[in-house]
Amino acid sequence: MTEPTQTEIEDFEQTTQERIASESLLVDVDGFEGPLDVLLTLARTQKVDLRKISVLELSEQYLKFVEEAKKLRIELAADYLVMAAWLAFLKSRLLLPPDPTEEGPSAEELAAHLAFQLERLEAMRRSAAKLMARDQMGRDFFARGIPEAVSQNRKITYNATILDLMQAYAYIKTKGNFEPLHMIERDRVFTMEQALGRMRTLIGHAIEWGDLNQFLPDGWRDDPKFRRSATASTFAASLELVKEGKLEIQQSELFAPIKLRTKRSQ
Amino acid sequence: MTKEQNDTLFEAPPMAEQERMVEAILFASAEPISKRAIADRLPHGCDVSEALVHLRKRYEGRGVKLVKVDDAWAFRTSPDLGFLMQKERYETRKLSRAAIETLAIIAYHQPVTRAEIEEIRGVSVSRGTIDLLLELEWIKLGRRRMTPGRPVTFVVTQVFLDHFGLESERDLPGVKELRDSGLLDNRPAPGALLEDTEAEVDLENEDQDDMFE
Amino acid sequence: MTKEQNDTLFEAPPMAEQERMVEAILFASAEPISKRAIADRLPHGCDVSEALVHLRKRYEGRGVKLVKVDDAWAFRTSPDLGFLMQKERYETRKLSRAAIETLAIIAYHQPVTRAEIEEIRGVSVSRGTIDLLLELEWIKLGRRRMTPGRPVTFVVTQVFLDHFGLESERDLPGVKELRDSGLLDNRPAPGALLEDTEAEVDLENEDQDDMFE
């Protein structure tokens, strides 16, 4: 968008140019960043220190701006109208003699705060411009183009004391209350090593194709959790033996029984 | 066990050598490196501050200069030679007016909440504006404000300082004048808002204990 | 378009300035850059070769040196300072519960197979845990067990003994001592009270037979 220039705003006050100027202002309503922005733009026409600005005059200008917008059927966002209402209220308060019974901030205080807000916004705009006018990296100055990587050597020392060790062992030992380990209490894991060991002794007997299930150890076939673990490890062990060239494995289709037999030597 | 012996056996290298080392470390990095990080990489007993003073002086008037960013140091090309670097120039995304103003407000008023930014600009701040600045790593989240709702605050980063060639937030253009004229004060609107601020203070005291990070 | 005019209007900058310019270009360039490419960037009439000679001399003995890579030029950290480009980070970590338990089992039951460790702990032992202990050289491979599959066994090492301040595995406190020191509760253990770890190891070995059919 193009911000209205100083002259455009001055035209705003002149009757002949009023229409055109106000249109150019109003067409840019979308470009304004809210009512405070409009107020600041209007305030600049007063060409005085923002602290000494006439809030009364500013209110009138703003209300006029809103009127024009209405005439031109331009939809104004609610916050523009809220500001208009507040300024109309402030204007009336500024014109009437103060009511001594009324509590809360005086009209002058409110007007002073508005002037402060405008001045602060203006100051931020100027600062933003100064900031952007500074030398910038990647435009005016540059960092090293070929940075050299720093290699990180991480050295980790693990710490454990004899007490940690004893406590850990004590924990394991008390966990089972010193009962000898029974089959029942055994964890439901048939390890790969166990399966492999078992399969090695069994494959010699598997001359014909036999179902994988037949190779599961006793006591691991009924309970589903036991069976699952034993099946998985036995299957993995079988694959290992196939890899070693000691076993053949086949499955006719998806989910069909997996069959095993000893690899026949030619 | 022989640590004490080592300390006496090996002295810190001479200052000229320390300066070379700091030079190498800083030259090798595209990002500013803190004094602390430099010291960690130097042999025991080196005086990084002194080495930096020497080094800065050595590069005065050269094509490359040693700059301070926050508590970190970096080599940067001299700004007057920027015109030679057409090829290295990268386009910073064109920032909207809203983004530039929001950035300035965060830089000058930090730590600042979104509500405060909106109060200053008089319009709501879109999520995209904040996201963009976060993405550029020019701003980051500061501590939460101990007011109702515990809003997050925003502060500018070292990347921001580096980008704009600032040594610290105190070097922002005109910051002193702004502060002196009271334009950086968090002046509450007269009336209703006043009560809120008082409530805030109480809350702050109560909340001290469960302050998070 | 006004290039020719410029040529006649402006003379090449003084050599000191040319040197600065080359310095900045070499610093900022993302790759080594040829004389030709440098010349293209400099104002007309500059003598790149001479500037490079000056610059190279200037950096002699510094932390950074100007080097020629093929027919291109670049700054590089001085080779003798390469050690500064390595950062060593020391971290002390606590062993995970799984690791310390596994280690304890190996120490008390050695030689012990992985299956046996799992049996005793009641959970499977991850490859990473064993690897870590091997890497720390606190455990090593013992003899293979003469059981089906000939599983490897693990035993503790001299490094382990040194770390834990033990003269031999026999110095490991026995179960009775553990109990006396309150690390085990005082409930009477079923079966024989194990007086020392050796007895226990034997027991475990006996147990094995019916553990693995």
Residue C16 and residue C63 in one domain: yes
pTM of the predicted structure, to 2 decimals: 0.60
Q: Mention every residue, 6+ apart, whose C-beta is less than 8 A from residue C63.
A: B19, B20, B21, B22, B23, B24, B25, B27, C77, C78, C81
Residues of C in contact with B19 (CB under 8 A): 63
**Token pair for residue A168?**
């850990």
> Does B53 score more than 90 pLDDT?
yes
CA distance B25 to chain C (A): 7
Q: Which among A11-25, B157-171, C137-151 has the top mean pLDDT?
A: B157-171
Per-residue pLDDT band for A93 (boundaries 50, 70, 90) equals confident
Per-residue pLDDT band for B177 (boundaries 50, 70, 90) equals very high
In a domain, C164, yes or no: yes
For chain B, how many residues are written?
213
Q: What is the pLDDT of residue A30?
A: 59
**Of A144, A234, A157, the residue nearest A191 (C-alpha):** A234
> Does A179 score more than 50 pLDDT?
no
Q: What is the pLDDT of residue C3?
A: 45
Q: Which among B49-58, B116-125, C186-195 has the top mean pLDDT?
A: B49-58
Residue C102 and residue C193 in one domain: yes
What residue of B is the nearest CA neighbor of A78? B123
Residue C110 and residue C74 in one domain: no
Per-residue pLDDT band for A205 (boundaries 50, 70, 90) equals confident
Residue C161 and residue C206 in one domain: yes
d(CA B81, CA C21): 7
Instruction: List, for residues C80-112, the tens digit of each pLDDT value.
Output: 998 888 776 677 788 888 899 999 999 988 899
- Interface of chain C toward chain B, CB-CB under 8 angstroms: 19-25, 27-30, 41-42, 61-64, 75, 77-78, 81, 84-85, 87
d(CA A213, CA A64): 91
Residues of A in contact with C86 (CB under 8 A): 150-153
> Does B26 score more than 60 pLDDT?
yes
Residues of A in contact with B165 (CB under 8 A): 134-137, 140-141
Domain span at residue B206? 97-210
Residue C143 and residue C173 in one domain: yes
Q: Which of B100, B174, B190 sits opposite A105 (nearest CB)?
A: B190
Q: What is the pLDDT of residue B204?
A: 42
Residue C41 and residue C140 in one domain: no
Q: How many CB pairs under 8 A join B and C?
A: 70
Q: What is the pLDDT of residue A29?
A: 61
> Does A230 score more than 80 pLDDT?
yes
Over residues A253-266, the mean pLDDT reads: 80
- Interface of chain A toward chain B, CB-CB under 8 angstroms: 33-37, 39, 79, 104-105, 109-110, 113, 116-117, 119-121, 123-128, 130-132, 134-145, 147-148, 150
Per-residue pLDDT band for A26 (boundaries 50, 70, 90) equals very low
Domain edge (last residue) among B51, B79, B107: B79
d(CA C80, CA C63): 9
* The residue to which tokens 């439901």 are assigned: A188
Residues of B in contact with C22 (CB under 8 A): 63
Residue B102 and residue B48 in one domain: no
Residues of B in contact with C30 (CB under 8 A): 88
Q: Which of A113, A127, A137 sits opposite B163 (nearest CB)?
A: A137
The domain total for chain B is 2
In a domain, B130, yes or no: yes
Cβ distance A165 to C123 less than 8 Å, yes or no, reads no
What residue of C is the nearest CA neighbor of B37? C87
In a domain, B167, yes or no: yes
- Rounded to an integer, what is the distance from CA A97 to the centroid of its chain? 54
Residue C123 and residue C67 in one domain: no
Q: What is the pLDDT of residue A187?
A: 63
Residue C73 and residue C159 in one domain: no
Residue C105 and residue C36 in one domain: no
Domain CATH code at residue B151 = 1.10.10.10
In a domain, C91, yes or no: no
Q: What is the pLDDT of residue A265?
A: 64
Instruction: List, for residues A132-150, the tens digit of each pLDDT value.
Output: 999 999 989 999 998 887 7
Instruction: List, for residues A147-164, the tens digit of each pLDDT value.
Output: 887 777 777 778 787 778
Over residues B11-22, the mean pLDDT reads: 92
Mean pLDDT value across chain A: 78
Instruction: List, for residues B123-149, the tens digit of each pLDDT value.
Output: 888 888 999 999 899 999 988 888 888
d(CA C184, CA C177): 9
Tell me the average confidence (pLDDT) per consecutive run of 10 residues in chain C, 213 residues long. Answer: 49 91 94 93 93 95 90 91 78 85 90 90 87 91 87 90 78 70 48 35 37 34
- pLDDT > 90: percent of chain B: 61
Instruction: List, for residues C159-170, the tens digit of each pLDDT value.
Output: 888 888 777 777
Mean pLDDT value across chain B: 84
Domain edge (last residue) among B32, B51, B79: B79
In a domain, B88, yes or no: no
Q: Which residues pair with C76 in a beta bridge?
A: C65
Q: What is the pLDDT of residue B191?
A: 64
For chain A, how many residues are written?
266
Residue C61 and residue C108 in one domain: no
In a domain, C87, yes or no: no
In a domain, C47, yes or no: yes
ipTM value: 0.65
Residue C64 and residue C149 in one domain: no
What residue of B is the nearest CA neighbor of A138? B89
Cβ distance C92 to A156 less than 8 Å, yes or no, reads yes
CA distance C81 to chain B (A): 7
Amino acid present at A144: R
In a domain, C86, yes or no: no
